Amino acid sequence: MIAPIVIVGNGAAAVHACMALRESGYGGQIRLYSDHAEPPYNPMLTSYYVAGRIGRAECFPFGGRELYDTLGVRARPAVTVARVDALARIVETADGPPVAYSQCLIATGASPVIPPVAGLSGPTVFTLRTMDDADRLRAAVEGGARRALVLGASMVGLKAAEMLRERGLGVVLADVAPQVLPLAADAAAARFVQARMVEAGVHLRLGTGLAGVELLTPSEGTAGGGAAPRPGAPTPPLRARFTSGGSVEVDLIVVATGVRPNLEAVDRGQVDCDIGVIVDQHLQASVPGLFAAGDVAQAPSLVSGRPEIVGLWANACLQGRTAGRNMAAAAAGDGRRCRAAGSGPAPGHATAACAAAARSVGVVGPTRSGETETASPLLPEAYPGSLACNITHAFGMTFASVGGPTGRSLVTDCDAAAGVVRHAAGRAACRLKDGGGSAPGEATGTQIPMTSAAATLRVPQLAWAGFCEGLTDNPDLREGA
Ligand SMILES: Cc1cc2nc3c(=O)[nH]c(=O)nc-3n(C[C@H](O)[C@H](O)[C@H](O)COP(=O)(O)OP(=O)(O)OC[C@H]3O[C@@H](n4cnc5c(N)ncnc54)[C@H](O)[C@@H]3O)c2cc1C
């Protein structure tokens, strides 16, 4: 009997791999391991759930547990894969016998990193990624927390700050960087965003690290640091001290200082890894039969050509789908693998964005109908998920980006009077547009005049204007889609 295809993980990449396997005609066994018991959820919706903008059920874009029955996938909830022996093609779990596989996808995602600061732990310190994180934070917010410190001025930090302000908390946001969005915006763009945040009542402490956190006794607590407590607020239980001097007293701390790929199950002695699992443009790892997709995979970037992690929802979907197609092709003994470019509609906004300009990045590989799409003459090195594109909202602004969150974006033009920040340059390009009170699900940006970023991207066909059109017109761009 042929061993099953094993999927390790239960997020967007895992689900899309399962769907692609079935759509591509793979009729064999699929086993999926998840280290939690929930159906697959969308981590990027957790801040909206904590804010009370959406209900818990809306965080599960693929529905409930019936998903895997429908796909004919044998799911093992709450079973952590401890080790993948990629040479023997075996997965090992904490309980139960080892399971042999024919092919395996690592789709384990990433987890928040908590910096090693004295006292930065315990029940009033939170991260934002899992449903468990979100449930705990929502309970704390609804349980009377009045003041919060958000650590990290990344997009996740900004969303956390926005969500806490919406809930009426006093919020201090701190970062060692001298500006918000240090990896994505230049100083001019950051100033624009910072002004909006201050208007919304966020107290910024930039250019300072956290020196330590102390639990306060009930007799302590003097309201320091800018976020004034409401009358009658409970005594803040924490004092956070900054490296630059000064401190704030808060009820809770949200840590948004980045994520690290979940590589615990991967044997670095067998499989090439850097920050994540190194894969080629087919999403295949260095050992035959092993694939990786999503936040755990370090795949060639369309823009830089280097292996990069693209920590975005649509890329996780596209990469999972690409890996699924390739595993199906390998199972069928079909050498035609999914790499690049087709003309058909494909899921996700990376595809949509490129399609607007070049109609080229899509899904290829054998399908159930036997159709095989060919590589694009325009973007031969592209594969679904190879281009980072994102659109999101915070503090009434729409943030759109293309190129890669790990790459620096440079701003060439900032027209605050027109409510527009124009970014265009470098190996990444980014755009911020005043969206005017947008809500999740609304892509409110309109096309803006741009200097051409295309010339600075490695792919000249990726016209910036076309990108913007695709970005704003495409329903796939909607958050949570
Ligand atoms: C607050 C927040 C805001 C975000 N905003 C945006 C945004 O605006 N736009 C955007 O595109 N993206 C955004 N993202 C990122 C996006 O959510 C991720 O890129 C995407 O969900 C990654 O999907 P994945 O399938 O790779 O990983 P995950 O969703 O992390 O799934 C991995 C799964 O594997 C399981 N697992 C891990 N290890 C094991 C193991 N050993 N055994 C079994 N199971 C295991 C995990 O429990 C998890 O279920 C945001 C994320 C957060 C947290």
DSSP secondary structure string for all residues of 218-245: TT-----SS-PPPTTPPPP-EEEEETTS
Mean pLDDT within 313-317:
81
How many whole angstroms from 295 Cα to the centroid of ligand 1?
A: 7
Ligand 1 binding pocket includes 8 (Cβ within 6 Å): yes
- Residue 333, pLDDT > 60, answer yes
pLDDT, mean over the chain: 74
Ligand 1 binding pocket includes 191 (Cβ within 6 Å): no
Measured CA distances, 307 to 160, 280, 283, 369, 407 (Å): 29, 8, 11, 33, 12
- Residue with the larger pLDDT of the pair 62 and 359: 62
Atom of ligand 1 at shortest distance to CA of 294?
Answer: 26
How many whole angstroms from 107 Cα to the centroid of ligand 1?
A: 9
- Residue 123, pLDDT > 70, answer yes
Ligand 1 binding pocket includes 391 (Cβ within 6 Å): no
Residue 237 confidence (pLDDT): 87
Residue 390 confidence (pLDDT): 56
Do 92 and 159 share a domain, yes or no? no
Domain boundary among 316, 336, 356: 336
Measured CA distances, 177 to 78, 164, 190, 209 (Å): 38, 21, 11, 9
pTM of the model: 0.81
How many whole angstroms from 11 Cα to the centroid of ligand 1?
A: 6
- In the chain, the number of structural domains is 2
What confidence tier does 95 reach under pLDDT thresholds 50, 70, 90? confident
How many whole angstroms from 265 Cα to the centroid of ligand 1?
A: 16
- Residue with the larger pLDDT of the pair 226 and 266: 266
* Distance between CA atoms of residues 54 and 59, nearest Å: 8
Mean pLDDT within 116-141:
96
Task: Give me the CATH number covering residue 182.
Answer: 3.50.50.60
Cβ contact 197:238 at 8 Å: no
- Residue with the larger pLDDT of the pair 389 and 460: 389
Domain boundary among 281, 301, 336: 336
Of 262, 278, 289, which is closest to residue 100 (Cα–Cα)?
289
Ligand 1 pocket mutation, candidates 262, 395, 474, criterion most atoms within 8 A of CB: 262
What confidence tier does 468 reach under pLDDT thresholds 50, 70, 90? very low
Q: Closest Cα to atom 27, ligand 1: which residue?
A: 109
Residue 399 confidence (pLDDT): 62
Domain that holds residue 227: 125-255
Residue 460 confidence (pLDDT): 27
Cα radius of gyration (the chain): 23
Do 143 and 234 share a domain, yes or no? yes
Residue 336 confidence (pLDDT): 56
Q: Closest Cα to atom 45, ligand 1: which residue?
A: 9
Ligand 1 binding pocket includes 43 (Cβ within 6 Å): yes
Euclidean distance between the first and the last CA atom of the chain, given in angstroms as a whole number: 38
Residue 303 confidence (pLDDT): 56
Do 33 and 59 share a domain, yes or no? yes
Of 452, 449, 460, which is closest to residue 429 (Cα–Cα)?
452
Q: Where is average pLDDT lowest: 107-121, 230-244, 291-305?
A: 230-244
